[in-house]
Amino acid sequence: MFTETQFGKSRRRAELLAKCVLGMMVASMIIPLFLIIGYLVKEAWPLLSLDFLFTNPTGGMRHGGIWSALLGTLYLVTLSLLIAAPIGVLAAVYLNEYARDSWFTRIINLAVVNLAGVPSIVHALFGLGAFVLFAGIGRSILAASLTLAIMTLPVIIASTKEALSAVPISFREACWNVGASRWQTIRGIVLPNSISGILTGVILQVSRAAGETAPIMFTGAVFFKKIEAGNIFAYSIWDQCMALSMHLFTITTQVTDAPRALPFATAVVLLGTVLMVNALSIGLRVYLRSRKKW
């Protein structure tokens, strides 16, 4: 019926071109990413084994495994999670269930956004000034965890808020109408219905905390600390500790004659941990979305 004009053809060509160029832009970010990860794993392959995880670094960190760093990261992440999760979840409950749409709420939201944007090294300065020196905790796992907790707080607040606001308002109204108080409604209806969504945010916090280096550098992480291999209670919260991210930084920049595979293997363990934890969070979210009932 209609014959395609030259004008129409050129428009179509422009569209195709745009699509190809944009697609190639995306591909040019994603393909190198996989190449890099593949290369890291390939270089690390000779060292990767369970032994690597469970033995201590030896010979000035030129040999051996990463046990003391791995355990330190576990301590830091667990403790920072214990501090950040309750505060973050309650803050999100306040923002979503209690706060009204006022200038004050707007300022709180602004503060959350800005807290997320504060550079990690400024968090380190804060941790040093506030916890290590002012509060007199000293350089320790506790001080480092507190710093990490404040740094990762916005992650928990943001995702918990999202999970809470996904609970329909009618659920709350039904609950109020049978005479439940505000807290009873939250406790009995809102939290149970959003707990898995909150969990995804908490998992995300773990992955953030595990990868951070700058905030723990001056508040509790050390280059080297000798602990007993295989004992998971080797640190106390008043001790300084090694951490995986810090360990990678050290053996990359300070230990120049380490065997080539060693930093690669450390990087792969760190990257693998963080990506797996993240994938867990994403998987949980996708699963939840698929079985959402309302």
Partner 1 sequence: MEQEVLNLPEGAVPGPSKAPGARSIVRARKRPVWEIGFEVGLEWLIRLCGISAILFVFGIFAFVFREGAAFLFSSRFSLVKFLFTTEWYPTSMSNIRYGVLALIVGTGSVTILAMAIAVPFGLGAAIFISEFCTGRLKEILKIIIELLAAIPSVVWGFIGISIMNPLIQTVFSVPVGLNVFNGATLLALMSVPIMVSIGEDSLKAVPDSFREAALAMGATRWQTIVRVLLPAAKNGLLAAVLLGIGRAVGETMAVLMATGHAVKIPHSIFDPVRTLTATIAAELGEASVGSDHYQVLFIVGILLFTITFVVNLSADLIVRGVRKG
DSSP tag of 40: H
Residues 207 and 281 sit within 8 Å (Cβ to Cβ): yes
Nearer to partner 1 (CB atom), residue 65 or residue 154: 154
Radius of gyration from C-alpha coordinates of the chain:
24
Q: Does 26 bind partner 1 (CB under 8 A)?
A: yes
Site string for partner 1, 71-100 (x = CB under 8 A): ---------------xxx-xx-xxx--xxx
Residues 67 and 55 sit within 8 Å (Cβ to Cβ): yes
Residues within window 253-272 making contact with partner 1, judged by CB under 8 A: 253, 263-264, 267, 270-271
Residue 230 beta carbon to partner 1: minimum distance, rounded to whole angstroms: 26
Q: Does 218 bind partner 1 (CB under 8 A)?
A: yes
**CA-to-CA distance for 16 and 18, rounded, in angstroms?**
5
Residues 206 and 215 sit within 8 Å (Cβ to Cβ): no
SS3 at position 58: strand
Residue 2 beta carbon to partner 1: minimum distance, rounded to whole angstroms: 12
Among 190, 217, 234, 241, interactor with partner 1 by CB under 8 A = 217
Pick the piece of the chain touching partner 1 (CB under 8 A) from 51-59, 61-69, 234-242, 249-257: 249-257
Among 55, 78, 120, 196, interactor with partner 1 by CB under 8 A = 120
Residues 72 and 231 sit within 8 Å (Cβ to Cβ): no
Residues within window 143-202 making contact with partner 1, judged by CB under 8 A: 150, 153-154, 157, 165-166, 168-169, 173, 176-177, 179-184
**CA-to-CA distance for 101 and 282, rounded, in angstroms?**
30
**CA-to-CA distance for 158 and 208, rounded, in angstroms?**
14
Question: Total binding residues for partner 1 by CB under 8 A?
Answer: 98
